[in-house]
Amino acid sequence: MKNIRFLGSFPSENACPATNLPEVAFVGRSNVGKSSLINYLTGRKNLAKTSGTPGKTQMINMFEVDNTWILVDLPGYGYARTSKKARERFEKMINDYLRNRQNLLVVLQLIDLRIPPQESDIERINWMGEHAVPFCIVFTKTEKITPDHLEKRVGVFRDTMLEYWSSLPPTFATSSTAKTGGENLLAYLEEIINN
Ligand code: GTP
Ligand code: MG
């Protein structure tokens, strides 16, 4: 990635600029590492704002990459300490974006494997299934788990998904801190962007 252009922060899908480039959206619980993954993949340390406190990203943030595709950083869901009103606002923002965005190519659904499968994640995944939104799964913070544990937890997550789905989407294991897994994910994105 050579040229990254910040297109802006937008409060709703309606407010996002029309583009004719494919968009890749980052979706997941607050604090799962969406903004950090964007910084890791682009190699720009502070492109997307990150924070140790959940609820950092509150708008739809769009970044154009090499005049070819667009990265979309979305607010997180599932943070208990956000007010009900704010939670509903974020949920509407995410739902509207995923349902209406014409150029949405794929969603990267981020999952923190350090904790058991979360209802909010399963709900989000099943919602995308119902609305025919294409997605893949990206496990985050994997440097925090030993390879043995990682394999087991991926298995548990897969089994949980197979309770609802007959097949599984592509999955990727990443760590933005250790900078691992990014090449595989980018290779996959490149392939679907160019096809
Ligand atoms: P919201 O914008 O609040 O929805 O959160 P987010 O999903 O964008 O998470 P963000 O990227 O801001 O990261 C949340 C916290 O997780 C920060 O303290 C990051 O430093 C940390 N984090 C992100 N990626 C990794 C990782 O790969 N490993 C570890 N150990 N921590 C990470
Ligand atoms: Mg964020």
Q: What is the pLDDT of residues 31-62, one digit of tens each?
A: 999 999 999 999 999 999 999 988 888 999 99
* pLDDT over threshold 90, residue 1: no
What pLDDT is stored for residue 99 in this prediction?
97
In whole angstroms, give the CA distance from residue 131 to residue 100: 10
> Half-sphere exposure (CA, 13 Å, Cβ side) for 190?
9
Residue found by looking up tokens 């406190």 in the block: 53
- Going by C-beta distance under 8 Å and a sequence separation of 6 or more, which residues neighbour residue 85? none
* pLDDT over threshold 90, residue 124: yes
Are 139 and 113 a contacting pair, CB within 8 Å? yes
Q: Is the CB of 114 under 6 A from ligand 1?
A: no
For atom 17 of ligand 1, the residue with the nearest CA is 52
What pLDDT is stored for residue 2 in this prediction?
83
Quickly state the pLDDT bin for 20 (edges 50, 70, 90): very high
Q: What's the CA-to-centroid distance between 51 and ligand 1, angstroms?
A: 6
CB-CB neighbours of 144 under 10 Å: 14
What pLDDT is stored for residue 46 in this prediction?
92
Q: Is the CB of 35 under 6 A from ligand 1?
A: yes
pTM surpassing 0.85? yes
Q: What is the pLDDT of residues 75-120, one digit of tens each?
A: 999 887 778 898 899 999 999 999 999 999 999 999 999 999 999 9
What pLDDT is stored for residue 152 in this prediction?
95
**Helix segments in the chain, DSSP class H:** 34-42, 84-100, 119-130, 147-162, 182-193
